[in-house]
Structures are given as structure tokens and as C-alpha cells.
Chain A
């Protein structure tokens, strides 16, 4: 049995998957097929861990974690059957740059809904450089799928052999055929925008001041950002983040309107200066 490849796929693509595939048979591997046809049994992702939590007991822990990339958030969970990964997760202090290799998992709380997550096999704290390297690899991989989908949109009938003849690998060709059967024609443009945004993320002129090009940041805005940052920091007493209610109260006192606060908070989130450990709470990175 050939070892399953570890796909480099962005959260924005992976999380939209609603297709599961297996050759059948007890030992046959199962795959999550993304809208662009990545046939994922294993994946390697690198991003910022923003939350780690043991949702079970000390004795039989089940660790949940969130890992952000430029396009979204991966959900991880590791329990007693992944002792090494679980132990590594438990030691992490978010926020941190982390590489995770794991198996694709799905769960379906009710019929018609399907959530994908990752069951980690390997967890390791890494450098920001590795995260950037991964974003580049994931971009390259996404570009290949976008190109293959563009060509496959023009193929009638769409066959695996046809895609292989165009030079695409067996794995991807099979995935694209499966994806087409499940999702129908895919809106490639949306993923092209995701690709461009991800590549821009690697370039300093876009990363440091994404707003600069569209509208110059006024001094007023900068001041508001400083105020809100300080608020978030001072209200975060237990390390779980400041609650939105408290921030709102504090902002009122400081003379900030609700709309201004919302705009400022969004800008801070975009710049990656704060994050939401859980919905309704904000914390400084």
C-alpha cells in the first residue's frame, strides 16, 4: 500500500467539502473530496493555533484546537488514540505558529450537514518562515487544481483519462471527476480570488498595510485602533479574551460610537493584531 500523500490545501477550500469517497471494503482508505477535486486522506497544514482546549476529562482527554491560515480556520481534534499528537497539542500556548499533519475527518450532526476536521498525527511548533513556505506550497497546489478545473469545464465528457492525457496526475484527475459528480460545475473564479489573496499575503506591501492602497488610514482611525487594542488587552483578565459586551461598554466610555468600534475591531482582526478565541470574545495576538 502506497503511503497517502499529505495535501497542502487551504482551510477555505477544505471546509467547503461535502463529499466523502471510499473504494469500499473495511480497510480501504476514505477521502474528503474538495470542490476543486483534492482527494484528501491526509493533509499537512501550517498556520496560527488560536485556541486549544480539553473538552473531556483529565484522565481521558480530548483536545480540540483551531488553526488559522490566510483563508479560514481548520478544526483539529485528538484523543487517546493519538497520544503523541494530543500531548503536543496540550503543550501549545496560543497564539503560535504550528505545523499539523493529520487525517481528514468528517462528522455529520444531522442529515444533510457535514463538517470536516483534522485528526492530527503530528503537531509541531514552527517558525513564521515555515508558515510562509506552506502558504506558497498550498498556493501552488491550488493553482494546479484551478487550472485543471478550467480545462475540465471544457471537456465533454469529463474523464479521468482525458485529464491524465493533459498531464495531470492520476490522483487529481480522479478527484476532479468525483468532485464534478458531487458538486456539479465549480465556480473557479472564487477560488482564483482566494489564490490571489493568499499570494498577496506573502508580500510585504500587502501584508503590512492592506488598506493603504484603497484609503489612507487617518490619524483618527489609528487613535481609535490604539484605544480598542488597549481596551481588549486590559479587559482580558483570565486569558480567554475580552467579551464583546465589556469592550462595547469600555468604548462608550472612551467616546467611541458603536459603528466606529465595529469598524476598528474588524480592521484589527484583518491585520491579525487580535483574534476571536471564541465567538463574542477578542484577544490580542
Chain B
């Protein structure tokens, strides 16, 4: 049943492969197939040669647990964002194996890949990268009953910012320029994150990188690139706001879980006394792609020039909450905007939780003149 292969030997578009591997991570996920919800699993498989992301499309009666060792027959591979990905389809057979069937991961001669922050993608391993630490904090977490210290923060190079998480105290401080060899990328709350541990080589280098202050500035990124990267830390997007979606304006939230209520009913807690809140769920399109941009209460109040209380009064007088959304739509639709915040990705696309927003002022004449001069130089 297909060729038995080690993970490191896989190439894209193999129609039938067999594997013996350990489940490094597994997550359920609900997707929409032709309008009906479908449950799938995604995660990472590992063996002694490396790790590869996988997706299981047929999950009925399928139980996959982290740490399980499995024999997989008749899986197929695809390429996703330049990497091999394993797929379990309806012809794939999965059987449990004893845990010693797969030797532990042996980082043989690891081939390191030079990367910039903008190249960090889920599943990438053996990353070699030089960055400046912009922030770092220590946290205590419980791992299998033991207290462990984890250091996490934000790092950056000239191509952008990323989150990182370290399972060892390398003595990193804010402002350090460090070379990290042997990091790997996992998703953390919808954003790619660089992880590394005691197996990685980490050292201060004297390579030149812009100052902390310059790196803290947020770079403008095209939405097309954000979609391809699968999320980003503190990105700036410039585009035209093209939609103010349903569920914008004055909303009510569940007092228990903060979910938005529909007809005074929470999806989890049933009929409850809602708490008022303001937000905008908008679509920003920059001509390369579109993202959902969510503005919270303070930003929405700022845009409207009205407080939550004033909006409640307005809605009472109009006898509908929709007046608030209408006012926002009137004000925002077809407006060029610059929005800044963290960007996450899921199956519905990418979403920014907006930290700051500005109406965009562009010097059209100046930019047109520059473009024209460039073109005429070429002639």
C-alpha cells in the first residue's frame, strides 16, 4: 500500500505513501464544505527524521491523540506554502502502533534555513534567523504537573515583527541582537510564532539591525502578503474600507462569556441580560486582498465622536440599534484608512484586531508625479 517513507523523504504530490509516525500535535477544526460544516483535524507528525504538517479530512470514527504512534497507509501529499503537507483522505488507513515503533527525533546534521521574519510560516523547522529582541517576559506554566519557566515576547528584523517563545533561559534582554539557529514555527493564537529550546544555538551577535525604536514602528504590509504569511504581529494596512458588517454598532454581550447575543440569547448561556458594547466589524480592501478589521469600544467611540451611553440614547429614540451601524456605515464606507494591529488567520480569511486607526491622507498629486517621472525615465 504505497511506498513506506520517512518524513524527511516526502516530496509534494505523492499520490500514495505509507508512514510510521508520532503525533506531535493535533487540533480539531470546523470548516465549511459547500455550506455544511465539516470537522477535520490538523496537526504535525514527527519521526526520527523530522516533522511535517498533516490534515485529516475524514474524521468520523477517527481518534488521534497527541503522543500516539500511528501507521498510516495510502496518504497523499500536497504542497502548501512551499512545504510538503500530508493529507489523510477517504482511502487512507490509520492503525495504532506501540510507542517504541518510532525512534525519538534525532536531529542528525540539521540543515538550517536562513530566514527573515517575513518568511516564518507554520511548520517551518531548522530556522536560522538574526533578530533584535523588542520585548521579553518570563511566565510560569505547568507542564505535565511540573512548573516550567517560559520566556516569550516580540522580536523583529527589518522585514517585520514576530512572537517568540523559549523554553530555556538564554539570558535574553530587550534590545539584544541575537542569532537563533534551530528554531521552529508553530501557530499561537492564530499567528505564526518562533519557538526554540535548549537544542537551539542562541547567541548575541554584532550584526547590524535597526534600533529598537525603528523596529517598533509598524511596517505597511499588503493584505495579499498577510494572507500568504498566515497572520502577523503589529502590522499596518492601508486600504479602502468597503463594508460595515452586520453585528457592528451597538451590540449586546453575554455577561458570562462576552459572546455577542442574538435576540438576547447567548449561544452557550441561553437567554441572558445583555451588556451593551460598541464595535465595528468592517472589511478593508487594499487592492491586493481583503481583511476583516475589528474596532473595539474605544476606537468606535472615537470614530463616532459619541460615547456608548450616547449611542444607547440614540438607539432608544430611534427605537432600533441599527441607527448606530447606519451612522458608522455612512461615515466609514469608501473611506481610505490606515489600520494597525495583530493579524490572525482562520478558514474565513484573515482578521485584524485594530489597535489604532487613521483616516488616510495621500498626497495624490505628489505620488502621481513620482510615478510619471519614473515611467518617463524608462522611455
Contact = CB atoms under 8 A, between A and B. Distances in A.
Interface of A: 1-8, 27, 44, 46, 99, 101, 122, 124, 126, 129-130, 132-133, 135-137, 139-141, 143, 169-171, 192, 195-196, 199-200, 202-204
27 contacts: A1-B347, A1-B348, A2-B289, A3-B283, A5-B224, A5-B287, A5-B289, A5-B290, A6-B240, A27-B34, A44-B242, A44-B287, A46-B334, A99-B334, A101-B285, A122-B242, A124-B334, A130-B334, A135-B364, A135-B368, A136-B362, A192-B375, A196-B376, A199-B368, A200-B372, A203-B369, A203-B372
Contacts of B227: 2
A204 B34 contact: no
B321 to A, nearest CB: 18
A3 B227 CA distance: 11
Contacts of A200: 372
Interface in B27-65: 32, 34-35
B97 interface: no
Nearest to A125: B334
Nearest to B360: A133
Contact of B368 (A6, A122, A202): A202
A139 B287 CA distance: 11
Contact of A139 (B240, B333, B371): B371
Contacts of A44: 240, 242, 285, 287
B375 A196 contact: yes
Contacts of A27: 34-35
A136 B283 contact: no
Nearest to A138: B287
A1 B32 contact: yes
Contacts of B362: 133, 136
B290 A171 contact: no
Given A27-B34, A169-B224, A200-B372, A141 B367 contact: no
A195 B375 contact: yes
Contacts of B68: none
B98 interface: no
A101 B242 contact: yes
B365 interface: yes
B222 to A, nearest CB: 8
Q: Is the interface of B mostly helix, strand, loop or mixed?
A: mixed
User: Which 6 residue pairs across A and B have the least CB separation, nearest first?
Assistant: A202-B368, A99-B334, A199-B372, A3-B290, A124-B334, A6-B285
Given A3-B290, A5-B290, A99-B334, A133 B364 contact: yes
B287 A7 contact: yes
B95 interface: no
A171 B334 contact: no
Contacts of A7: 287
Nearest to B242: A101
A157 B239 CA distance: 35
B336 interface: yes
Contacts of B35: 27
B285 A5 contact: yes
Nearest to B335: A130
Given A44-B240, A195-B375, 13 more contacts: A3-B283, A3-B290, A4-B290, A6-B242, A99-B334, A122-B242, A122-B334, A124-B333, A129-B364, A133-B364, A139-B371, A202-B368, A203-B368
Given A171-B224, A195-B375, A203-B368, A133 B336 contact: yes
A203 B363 CA distance: 11
A196 B372 contact: yes
Counting chain A CB atoms within 10 Å of each CB, which of B285, B368, B375 scores highest?
A: B368
Given A122-B333, A195-B375, A196-B375, A204 B365 contact: yes
Interface string B347-366: 11110000000000010110
B197 interface: no
Contact of B367 (A3, A136, A170): A136
A175 B288 CA distance: 13
A199 B373 CA distance: 10
Interface string B339-350: 000000001111
Contacts of A2: 227, 289, 349-350
Given A122-B242, A124-B333, A136-B362, A5 B369 contact: no
Interface in B15-33: 32
A122 B364 CA distance: 24
A101 B364 CA distance: 21
B301 interface: no
B243 interface: yes
A6 B290 contact: yes
A5 B227 CA distance: 11
A150 to B, nearest CB: 10
B288 A5 contact: yes
A114 B8 CA distance: 51
A202 B364 contact: yes
Contacts of A203: 365, 368-369, 372
Nearest to B243: A122
Contacts of A140: 287, 371
Contacts of A99: 240, 334
Contacts of A46: 334
